[in-house]
Amino acid sequence: MVRRRILLLGSRGQLGHALARSLAPLGEITAPTREQCDLYDPGAVLRLLERTRPDCIVNAAAYTAVDAAEHHPALAMQLNASLPALLAEAAGRTGAWLVHYSSDYVYSGRQATPYTETDATEPLNTYGRSKLAGDQAVAGYSRHLILRTGWVFHRFGANFLRTILRRARQQTRLQVVDDQLGAPNSAEFIAAVTAHVLRDLWRDLGAPGLYHVASQGHTSWYGYACHLLTEAGRHGLALRCSADTIQPISSQVLSRLASRPAYAVLDTARLCDTFDLVMPPWQLGVSQVVQDILRLEAS
């Protein structure tokens, strides 16, 4: 396979960190830091594109502070919508592939069956609206790949898994929401899928477009936390709180600024059928990251 020039944006985030590893066999990766390129500055982004002349742009950068987006909608729109639009326009001039990551927050969560790529979008908050605007901008360019996912976790970074483990080490009881459903997705899993799909697209297998990426099965945040602490205990992680002392609560108790979809389960049939993939169960990714964290702490 021809080695391509790959520009990876957002490489310091949890997904970007995983992508730097999964994409390495596919080409020469340029992964600028925030100090090297301010993604809120269109001029800086255009200069970066001119300097690197990528064959493929992988945009893992995003404004993901869901509640803060309600106070700072312009920041969310600039990074989640304006930046993808700029990248799509630039890619259109050079013929580069553009990979973009969407969010399950583009859906209302009022559905009772897994969302397909053709289901109506109806974001409940500013973050979701900004992500949808980015999707729409990227979809206007022919050589695009939009991967829609959610509930992302990694052994590094700020995420639900690491937060629960930290609190379980400090507290004897936890309260976790039990009325929001989705599938936890390892950043390593999403990155591996990205690399697989790109290989096929570059071989003229499959087709560009929007695809859902999600592990098999679904659970609530409460069910996720229970499984996580069970696995952590099984592998010998010292905890003050166990799964049987977690209290399930309603999302209304938290009084968050931004509404969340109650049902964010994604149908992955299009992805699996097009690229001959089988999605792993969500529990597998959680267990793997627990073991990774233990190994890091022991080293």
Catalytic annotation, residues = 127
Helix axes 282-298, 187-202, angle to 10 degrees: 110
For 8, phi then psi, to 5°, come to -105, 115
Burial (Cβ within 10 Å: 0-12, 13-18, ≥19) of residue 299: exposed
Best CA proximity match to 243, nearest among 223, 257, 261:
223
The DSSP letter of residue 281 is B
The DSSP letter of residue 183 is -
First to last CA, the chain: 37
Distance, CA of 11 to CA of 9 (rounded, Å): 6
235: number of Cβ within 10 Å:
13
Distance, CA of 143 to CA of 132 (rounded, Å): 18
Best CA proximity match to 98, nearest among 9, 182, 185, 164:
9
Residue with tokens 């702490």, as numbered in its chain: 297
